[in-house]
A and B are shown apart, each in its own frame.
Chain A
């Protein structure tokens, strides 16, 4: 008896929807085993992770706040991945966007500048993220350098650059030597949606981004180009679509969205620039993109789910002393299962019995 993968004639639509759910299920089973090994009560741990955060309004808002950068970045990444351009450096583009936008906030600090400050910060952050993403894209197109490596390495460059700024030129003189800028002025801060709550304007912007991406991919010729270039490069060339141009375009969009997410995070929930502004949003967004099937609406759902694991991880740490790193383990296992389950869309399992008794022939 043998288990074989058999190719399906047509992509299975049902499995395409069910596969992420199977992956989530398998991840939870694995986590239960992991919790048991750690000596924690798996049921209580699961409750802390997945149920407790959904039971109070503050946590619900916090989930939306965490999901905002994840979804924003993942939407951009999904365009890259659909076009077969592997941007792994969204974390770096996120940081550079945060730095560029903060530059305006730092320069206008205490100058009583007008309402133009925040829009200018958003625009500059998006532009900086896009330019930063263009470095690996252009290296790829002009010199054939692997965009996976170059985009990843630029993450560390951005990280150290931010570190230098907040420890050096941009450090708050009244900040007791902590590596941070001063709190941004109100005009340089993303407004809250509910007074005294956590939800901010970024959550509205991200919904607009999701809608725009859905229209781009589903309705426009540009979105079609992106999908064909990734799915069948030679057919795309035959269709007259230039893969190189799309690598540049998708990297630029994805960098811009990551940069935008960066400044919204800094000028929103955090309120100032400091090291460690991202708990790995740029990397977690890769999981969000795949868990969401590279589909804008799927990414929205996946982003909320992964945000839940961040909040749940904090709760589990407080309530049960489960290390916060378990959240990262969880996310890694989830990505593994998502990619594994995806093979079920094009293939199906089949049991084969090579040595079965053949019926005596009628000939």
Chain B
């Protein structure tokens, strides 16, 4: 309790030493086998600044922060903390010195309360009662309201992130690392987070902010270090840069612009969902609640929403991984398919790309040709009388490689050996090559580098232009704005009425993502008048 009061009253130590950075890395290098994840990176982080680390996936951001947080040992180079070289033996050591971290993927136990989760993550032997009191105090002081007695599964993603932040703040860190904190937040929740971060900065703490969202970085950060291919490209003031110039530094060239074909025409409905309700398949799952929409050929419908609001359940219901008792709830190409298996739905012309690349869309330790067979066996020449046509499967790999620029070390490697972006290009390519009438895709560019993301978005636009109906679920609003014709929002298992993309402002989408409806009275008046 006392330690905490000190934290609130005074600025942390080390602020007055204006000459030395709080943390400095000199030639920090991390090697995994032959692969240089970090190649002699120099970075200075000063007290009272928000320092962005920008880079595409695979640029080395995570490795860098893991080294700074003591999770990996650098292969070469030094880390200086408050002017002195240190070797961090592990995260506990880093925390003891005043380095805190909020991970992108939360490490929380769903069935425990907020206070229990925080207690599990703290070092030291404070009594549970004192800890709970301190938790309430910290969360109040920083405007991060949390009820210590609620169980985690009842909380929204934003609230779960608050637990992680409060847990880090309870250690009174001088330096806080946040890894893609806004990836799971609504725009409004992100705004609230920024207020907290500004406040921490004003207290003299340093913040390392990992992101690839350029606008966010320009708005929030004082300094930005850009990484590309494991090397530092530049340290700059992001406010003086444009989003385009930052992107150029990240990618090392211009990003291919995604262009929609003009004059796309829509045809008959190819995917119709009628009043689909489905009880959750597992504990803490989301119940799908009277979902209806219609998707025509040539059209891309975007589904926005904070993760965990039923998007996974909707994907499973559409793909046939979960069946509905009423056939008419899902209609593919005019055929009621709610009761049909995923293979039968594929034969009707549907194709699916789930969010999880490894383990769901592909079997990680199997070759690409075998992974082509995984979805291709349903409706293509890959299987003849129960026997596998290996040549046909390999040909699919070759064509996907060629068409979608999949980069890999050999002709037919294991799926797990590809980088995220290249594997995703392969997965999307595998489905598009089957010429689907309906494509349902979830988080098409999640954790994918900008170059691959552009290729994938272009492929989706081209597919729609060729007459297919495309349903895209994404948490990236910019992505939906770029490719979708209409956007609907999922919240608590319900789907809002779709808005034309031109009318779907960030504010409107943000409100829907937070569960508010768009002025129902007003809409009713409008309809009545």
Contacts and interface: CB of A to CB of B under 8 A. Distances in A.
A219 B387 contact: yes
A222 B85 CA distance: 59
A347 interface: no
Interface string B342-374: 110010000010101001111111100011011
A224 B375 contact: no
Contact of B377 (A10, A11, A221, A361): A221
B87 A222 contact: no
Contacts of B413: 10
A231 interface: yes
Q: Interface SS of chain B: helix, strand, loop or mixed?
A: mixed
B366 A358 contact: no
A361 B27 contact: yes
A358 B78 contact: yes
A362 interface: yes
Counting chain A residues whose Cβ lies within 8 A of the other chain, the interface size class is 20 to 34
A212 interface: no
Given A11-B414, A358-B77, A221 B383 contact: yes
23 contacts: A9-B417, A10-B416, A11-B365, A11-B414, A219-B387, A221-B377, A221-B386, A222-B386, A224-B370, A227-B366, A228-B370, A231-B365, A231-B366, A232-B364, A235-B361, A237-B321, A237-B342, A238-B319, A238-B342, A240-B378, A352-B73, A358-B74, A362-B27
Contact of B76 (A220, A234, A235, A358): A358
Interface of A: 6, 9-11, 219-222, 224, 227-228, 231-232, 234-240, 352, 354-355, 358-363
B360 A361 contact: no
A236 B342 CA distance: 11
Q: Which 10 pairs, one residue from A and one from B, show the smallest C-beta to C-beta distance?
A: A361-B26, A240-B343, A232-B363, A363-B26, A239-B374, A235-B363, A240-B342, A10-B417, A361-B27, A9-B417
A10 B374 CA distance: 20
A236 B366 CA distance: 12
B198 interface: no
A302 to B, nearest CB: 22
Contacts of A358: 74, 76-78, 85, 87
Contacts of B364: 232
A219 B373 CA distance: 12
Contacts of A231: 363, 365-366
Given A231-B366, A232-B359, A240-B341, A224 B388 contact: yes
A235 B417 CA distance: 17
B386 A220 contact: yes
B342 A355 contact: no
A211 to B, nearest CB: 15
Nearest to A237: B321
Contacts of A361: 26-27, 77-78
A359 B26 CA distance: 10
Contacts of A362: 26-27
Contacts of A222: 386
A238 B354 contact: yes
B267 interface: no
B388 A228 contact: no
A354 B93 CA distance: 14
Contacts of A238: 319, 321, 342, 352, 354, 360-361, 374-375
A354 B365 contact: no
Given A224-B388, A234-B359, A238-B352, 17 more contacts: A11-B414, A221-B386, A221-B387, A232-B362, A232-B364, A232-B365, A232-B366, A237-B321, A238-B319, A238-B321, A240-B320, A240-B341, A240-B346, A358-B77, A358-B78, A358-B87, A359-B27
Nearest to B363: A232
